[in-house]
Structure 1
Amino acid sequence: MRKSEVSSTLTVYHDGQFWVGVVEHVENGMLSVARLVFGAEPSNEEVYTWVLERWTSLRLSAEAEPVGPRVGRLPGNPKRRAREAAKAMRQHGSSTASQLALARERERSKEESRSERAARGREEARVRWEKRHEKRRHRHRGK
């Protein structure tokens, strides 16, 4: 039986306008991400309630990124590492891999909506042409 490693992280930060949460889900070395907007600053209880009630309905990115192997302990002072990690989170919000995955997910959804919009436009044009054609046939029948 093969052992699989699963880990999920929710990072909440202020992006200048809204409070945003980024979920990073690593399963078998592949990273999937999701971004959610809280709006006003959520309290710890609100975040905890959100995780309990809505975690299962979370839509993670379809495209997964490979993540390097997890190294056990990082060298150096743990307090300094925590301080530097907190500083990086305040500046960037989330990891670079998750930012790239979110950008790809945005591009994919943009492409999907563009193709759906084009198909809808073609269908509407076809319906308009059929109505015009039917109206023309109806006039020529003399009624």
Structure 2
Amino acid sequence: MQISVSSTLTVYHDGQFWVGLAEHVEDGRYGVARIVFGAEPSDEEILRFVTSKWAKLAFFGDDPSEASEPAKNPKRRAREAAKALKRPAVSTKAQQALANQRETMKRESAQARSQRRADEAEARFEQRKLKRKQKHRGH
């Protein structure tokens, strides 16, 4: 059994910050992560990021993907790399996965906020109940 793994890191300027878009295809599953660098990262900073923090990235998205087989011919690989550089920095699939991630995080935070409010309301009610009980106790 052979597992195919392919990862790419695209660094681009989004108008305000330098952003890295990490795309990861493993065993037909596509995942994407967005990393904000802030100032323009040097080659050494990017290399340090890839070697030390790549494993800790949380890739979002489990869509089955059709990963192309990497070419063994070095000239073909160079042509494919040049073609990839001419393409826009952010792929539509990556944009869609990031949008899905934002929506999921928004839903989760809304649920957590709703639960926290309900817990606080319950605590206030218990406090009022306790206060009423203490008022009705005779001295």
User: Equivalent residue for 1:118?
Assistant: 114
Q: Give the residue type in structure 1 aligned to 2:107.
A: E
**Shift in Å at residue 88 of structure 1?**
2.9
Is 1:133 aligned to residue 129 of structure 2?
A: yes
**What is the TM-score with the length of structure 2 in the denominator?**
0.87
Structure 1 segments, 4+ long, off by >6 Å, are none
Q: Deviations for 1:78-121, whole angstroms, at most 9, x for unmatched residues? A: 38x72x533433xxx32111111111111111100110110010
Alignment of 1:1-143 (within 5 A): 2-61=1-60, 63-70=61-68, 78=79, 82=82, 85-89=84-88, 93-143=89-139
Amino acid at match of 1:11: T
Q: Does the CA contact (< 8 Å) of 1:64 and 1:101 recur in 2?
A: no
User: Any idea what the Cα deviations from partners look like across 1:51-89, whole Å, max 9, x if unmatched?
Assistant: 11111211111x31222241666x9xx38x72x533433
CA RMSD, aligned part only?
Answer: 2.1
Paired with 2:12 and 2:67, the residues of 1 have a C-alpha distance of: 26
For each residue in 1:2-25, what CA deviation from the matched residue of structure 2 results, as whole angstroms up to 9, or x when unmatched? 111001111111000000011111
Q: Mark the runs of 5 or more structure 2 residues left unpaired by the alignment.
A: none
Contact 2:25–2:67 (8 Å) recurs in 1: no
- Partner SS, residue 115 of structure 1: helix
Q: Across the two proteins, how many residue pairs are aligned to each other?
A: 134
Residue 129 of structure 1: CA displacement? 0.5
Structure 1 unmatched runs, 5+: none
Cα pair 2:20 2:36 within 8 Å, conserved: yes
Distance 1:35 1:69, change over 3 A: closer
Q: TM-score, normalised by structure 1?
A: 0.84
The answer to whether the 8 Å contact 1:31/1:65 transfers is: yes
CA distance in 1, matches of 2:7, 2:19: 16
| Identity among equivalent pairs (%) | 47
What is the one-letter code of the residue matched to 1:70?
A: S
